[in-house]
Amino acid sequence: MNGHLYKCLNNANRRKILYCIGKEEKCVNEIAECLDLEQSLTSHHLKDLYDCGLIEKKRKGKRIYYKVSEPEIIEILEKGKELGDRLEKRC
């Protein structure tokens, strides 16, 4: 899923993960619990996000911590959300 930014963003769970680790790094289980997702599914999405370059990872002992790789990613998400909301009202 390399270089497919929009593909990565086109999934609510992946977007939630980005918001979840936008300000603070978290390990896989924390993320999974935070979003009420299965560990396996969380790992799959994290891989997609990582391959796309949207997140970074760092191992600490058994755990692997992920965080969003640059702040503008969250800004774009927020702009996208605002735009989406605005467009919906238009109808």
Partner DNA sequence: CACTTGTATAAATGACCGTTCATATGAATA
Partner DNA sequence: TATTCATATGAACGGTCATTTATACAAGTG
Residue 5 binds DNA, judged by CB under 7 A: no
Binding to a copy of itself by CB under 8 A, coded x per residue (else -) over 47-76, reads -----xxx--------------xx-xx--x
Nearest to 69, CA basis, from 58, 82, 80: 58
- Dump strand ranges (E) for 1-91: 26-27, 55-60, 63-68
Task: Decide which of DNA, a copy of itself, none touches 79; Cβ closer than 5 to 8 Å per partner kind.
Answer: a copy of itself
> Looking at 18-26, 31-39, 40-48, 77-85, which segment touches a copy of itself (CB under 8 A)?
77-85
CA–CA separation, 43 vs 60, rounded Å? 17
